[in-house]
Amino acid sequence: MSTASASPASLASGHRQILSILVALVILVACVLSTETTMPTQNMSHKERAELREEARDMFYHAYHAYMENAYPADELMPLSCKGRYRGVTPSRGDMDDILGNFSMTLVDTLDTLVLLGDFTEFEHAVKLVIRDVQFDSDIIVSVFETNIRMVGGLLSAHILAEYLQKHADTMHWYKGELLEMSRELGYRLLPAFNTSTGIPHARVNLRLGMKDPQLKKSRETCTACAGTILLEFAALSRLTGDPIFEVRAHAAMDALWKLRHRGSDLMGTVLNVHSGDWVRRDSGVGAGIDSYYEYLFKSYVLLGDDKYLARFNRHYNAVMKYVSEGPMLLDVLMHRPHAKSKNFMDSLLAFWPGLQVLSGDLKPAVQTHEMLYQVMQMHTFIPEAFTVDFQIHWGQHPLRPEFIESTYFLYRATGDHHYLQVGKRALKTLQQYAKVSCGYAAVNDVRTGKHEDRMDSFVLSETIKYLFLLFSDPQDLIINVDEFVFTTEAHLLPLSIAQLGNSTFSFRQSDEHNVLDFMRTCPSSNKLFPEKVRKPLRNFITGSCPRTTAGKRLSALDFQASNADHLRAVYDMGITMVSVGDRSQGKVRLFHSFYNAKSHEEGEMGLQFMQEMLELTKMQSINQLAQLQAVAYATDEKAQDWIALMAGPSHFSPELIGDQFVQGDLVLAKPRRACEELLENAEEAKGKVLVAERGDCTFVNKARLAQKVGAAALIVCDNVPGSSGETQPMFAMSGDGKDDVLIPVVFMYSVEFGKLSAVMQRRKQPLRVRVMQMVEFKRWQLAKAQRQNQTATVTQKPEKEL
Ligand code: DMJ
């Protein structure tokens, strides 16, 4: 491909592929380096396991009591201020608050964990509180997905367990199905969201007004996971109440989603228009925006016994394994161009995937991806919200999510390998050391600094600690047999016996074009697989512990996959060694080639060619990186003759400044500086200017929306980690939330670079005027200027010479 003639899109995708190959090379070396310190898998004694179980129990009570004593009836505990978070009262965090409905979410979400812990007294007390205090008739817009998984799921599971205790523990005889009635009422309040031409529900609904809330008039977009994570709860709701409407609506939404798959690739995008059914974001992976859609396809089959869902799951699963999965990594591609990677980072939500793979019987890739995630965790203490393919931090937040522990639990259950107990122990101790505060557990704002955030999501109690407790419990320690239940995406328990309640509304085996058997993957059986054998090659690439299975034509740099043990061995045989450079934690490597190390002269020649190709690819990678790098430039003199540019990172959610486009304006610092409120104090001043907001407290895109609302020409988000710099840290692109409503350019600056700008700003008496543009364009501009100056100098010198 000639770079000069390629279109920008194909160029970008080509570069992305190359980039992923290169960074993949780095990642596996990083695995090797970082696992040198990995503890060997030791069997865990029964005593230690029991101690860890009790520690998980203590963790639960520490968080639960902190919430109950300081926050209840609020939805969430704010662990740093040690008080409750109420919608409409606590300062808004923007869209993130759609999760809150002033319905005591944390308590509802936690009810079934109390039963698993065997604390019937507290469960009974908590159920009474919920019945007494929780109501839904509020003029509040909530997320349909979150309300369903946390509230409807929490109420249903608690109802089922309350009846179970009545039967098996001779307690709670006063209970008459009140929680089920509450979940029915809440279900009804969510139903207006399903009135769309496709049947795919809106993302948000007003609990009191349904879709009649004027703020919802423009509601169009939702994510695939949001629309596709309804069926388990709604089917249970219908079957337990005898009211078919919920299940009918949820099946219809699933059917509509299925029709939207790309017929060529069988992949789904992440954001769509609920009315037209058009895709808004065609990125396709297994993490944010789509995760639990796949989970619910598979679990709907398990819970309801409808094999059309298994067939659908298998179709998608095959597509994911074909296009998205790359060795242990899972990288987004475009659903309509699945050979092109669309991102070079992964998000922490995809950590649920190995757990789902275990349930579906594909253990080997589950072990691999889990191992990769474990490497990331060891490198950064917690798994950051997003990390690049070479394990660098893309987004450093960690809200104490459960997914990695959930997968650890399922892998342990499937394999019995004590490695997973050791992993769980490390996760537990990390939470204790870095997230525990006097009032609960606090989310980590940035895994690099360990700084806390005033946030404890309800899933910490309903999932994170629950899965830890389950991991360290033997079946006989538990009051219920968890194997008789399906865990929803929020880890609520729905009994398999729900299938027996049947569904009178329509036939389950409706016409479906797919034969399940056509899509069954052949996969290793969990009985025969020893996970250690799968994990080990990921740690021992360089020592070449894997036998080389294929011989044949030369491996080219373009085909090279660092996740492929044969490729690494081939590279080694060609006389190429990899040596780590700089800080080991960055996992950077340099390649060296020598004929002396090659297995044969012929392979030495191949190695030389491989090195040349690698060099070419590296050059292209830096061109690509340069193309994405943004610049914040300012003039150093009054006449604006000389300019300096400071590097900045782009964003995924704002328009790209292409070619010689730039935005110019005076710099204005946001007040308050993090720009997370409804409005800025200095909104007037910010109009038409380049606004600066500090990173933190709310999402990048929320800051951007606020900047746009006050009429700023552009936004610079500056880092909140002192001393961070683009010189020492990889530049990244800020992620958004899938909506395309930000129309002003938004760039990110690390602290050192912004510090320079801020120093100039303070020195100047006049406001500092800056230009936001592409770095490559800035360089071109400067070059052209220098050439012009040279020419002028030559022209003015010429006559003198002639004289
Ligand atoms: C939970 O609410 C659920 O697991 C959901 O499916 C994904 N996000 C959170 C936990 O990270």
CATH annotation of 630-789: 3.50.30.30
∠ CA 375-483-187, rounded to 5°: 95
DSSP bridge partners of 717: 693, 748
pLDDT of 629 > 90? The answer is no
371 a catalytic residue? no
pLDDT digits (tens, 9 = 90+) for 324-337: 999 999 999 999 99
Question: Which of 478, 471, 481, 479 is closest to 49 using CA atoms?
Answer: 471
Q: State percent of the chain over pLDDT 90.
A: 68
385 a catalytic residue? yes
Determine the residue type at 192.
Answer: P
Q: What pLDDT sits at residue 403?
A: 98
Sequence length of the chain is 803
Looking at 316-320, 405-409, 433-437, 602-606, which range is the least confident one? Answer: 602-606
Burial code of 705-723, b = ≥16 C-beta within 10 A, e = fewer? bbbbebebbbbbbbbbbee
Å from CA of 152 to ligand 1 middle: 14
Task: Choose between 776 and 297: higher pLDDT.
Answer: 297
Q: What pLDDT sits at residue 521?
A: 37
The residue whose two tokens read 């007494």 is 132
Å from CA of 449 to ligand 1 middle: 24
256: number of Cβ within 10 Å: 20
Q: What pLDDT sits at residue 272?
A: 98
Atom of ligand 1 nearest to the CA of 146: 2
Q: Which of 229, 348, 349 to mutate to test the pocket of ligand 1 (most atoms within 8 A of CB)?
A: 349
The answer to whether residues 109 and 460 touch, using CB atoms and an 8 Å cutoff, is no
Coil, strand, or helix at residue 634? Answer: strand
Å from CA of 228 to ligand 1 middle: 13
pLDDT digits (tens, 9 = 90+) for 62-103: 999 999 999 999 999 999 999 999 999 999 999 999 999 999
Which residues neighbour 121 within 8 Å (Cβ) at sequence distance 6 or greater? Answer: none
Q: Which of 146, 406, 463, 697 is catalytic?
A: 146
In whole angstroms, what is the distance from residue 557 CA to residue 571 CA?
10
Mean pLDDT (whole number) for 307-312: 96
Mean pLDDT (whole number) for 761-788: 86
DSSP bridge partners of 592: 577
Coil, strand, or helix at residue 434? Answer: helix
In whole angstroms, what is the distance from residue 101 CA to residue 144 CA?
11
Question: Which of 221, 99, 93, 96 is closest to 741 using CA atoms?
Answer: 221
697 a catalytic residue? no
The answer to whether residues 343 and 20 touch, using CB atoms and an 8 Å cutoff, is no
| Ligand 1: lining residues by beta carbon, under 6 Å | 149, 292, 349, 401-403, 459, 463, 489-490
The answer to whether residues 220 and 273 touch, using CB atoms and an 8 Å cutoff, is yes
Looking at 261-270, 309-318, 517-526, which range is the least confident one? Answer: 517-526
- Considering the chain, tell me which residue range(s) the CATH 3.50.30.30 domain(s) occupy: 630-789
pLDDT of 548 > 70? The answer is no
Determine the residue type at 533.
Answer: K
Q: CA distances (Å), 589 to each of 324, 355, 594, in order?
A: 25, 32, 16
The answer to whether residues 497 and 484 touch, using CB atoms and an 8 Å cutoff, is yes
Q: Which of 109, 112, 291, 454 is catalytic?
A: 291
51 a catalytic residue? no
Written as six digits, the tokens of 609 are: 């060619």
Burial code of 356-390, b = ≥16 C-beta within 10 A, e = fewer? bbbbbebbebbbbbbbbbbbbbbbbbbbbbbbbbb
Written as six digits, the tokens of 767 are: 């406001």
Q: Please provide residue 715's backbone torsions phi and psi, each rounded to the nearest 5 degrees.
A: -130, 135
Q: CA distances (Å), 102 to each of 82, 142, 269, 372, 774, in order?
A: 17, 10, 32, 39, 45
Structural fold of domain 46-498: Glycosyltransferase (1.50.10)
Q: Is 692 exposed, middle or buried (0-12, 13-18, 19+ CB in 10 A)?
A: buried
Å from CA of 420 to ligand 1 middle: 21
In whole angstroms, what is the distance from residue 586 CA to residue 27 CA?
10
The shares of helix, strand and coil residues in the chain, as percent rounded to the nearest 5, are 50, 15, 35
Q: What average pLDDT does the structure give for the chain?
A: 86
Residue 513 binned pLDDT confidence (cut-offs 50, 70, 90): very low
Q: Which of 106, 110, 462, 489 to mutate to test the pocket of ligand 1 (most atoms within 8 A of CB)?
A: 489
Q: Which of 149, 152, 406 to mutate to test the pocket of ligand 1 (most atoms within 8 A of CB)?
A: 149
Written as six digits, the tokens of 110 are: 């936690």
Q: What pLDDT sits at residue 266?
A: 97
- Considering the chain, tell me which residue range(s) the CATH 1.50.10.10 domain(s) occupy: 46-498
Task: Choose between 731 and 191: higher pLDDT.
Answer: 191
Ligand-binding annotation for 270, yes or no, is: no
Q: What pLDDT sits at residue 626?
A: 60
Residue 726 binned pLDDT confidence (cut-offs 50, 70, 90): confident
In whole angstroms, what is the distance from residue 215 CA to residue 202 CA?
13
Q: Hey, whose CA ends up nearest to atom 1 of ligand 1? A: 490
pLDDT digits (tens, 9 = 90+) for 651-672: 888 988 877 789 999 999 999 9
Determine the residue type at 448.
Answer: R
pLDDT of 195 > 60? The answer is yes
pLDDT of 372 > 90? The answer is yes
The residue whose two tokens read 């070079």 is 344
Taking the CA atoms of the chain, what radius of gyration do you get in angstroms?
Answer: 28
Residue 518 binned pLDDT confidence (cut-offs 50, 70, 90): very low
pTM of this structure: 0.66
Q: Hey, whose CA ends up nearest to atom 8 of ligand 1? A: 349
Q: Which of 233, 385, 463, 719 is catalytic?
A: 385
329: number of Cβ within 10 Å: 22
In whole angstroms, what is the distance from residue 451 CA to residue 449 CA?
5
Å from CA of 248 to ligand 1 middle: 24
- Enter the DSSP assignment of 605: H
Residue 795 binned pLDDT confidence (cut-offs 50, 70, 90): low
Q: What pLDDT sits at residue 534?
A: 76
Q: Hey, whose CA ends up nearest to atom 10 of ligand 1? A: 401
Å from CA of 489 to ligand 1 middle: 6
The answer to whether residues 480 and 464 touch, using CB atoms and an 8 Å cutoff, is no
pLDDT of 504 > 80? The answer is no
Mean pLDDT (whole number) for 475-495: 96
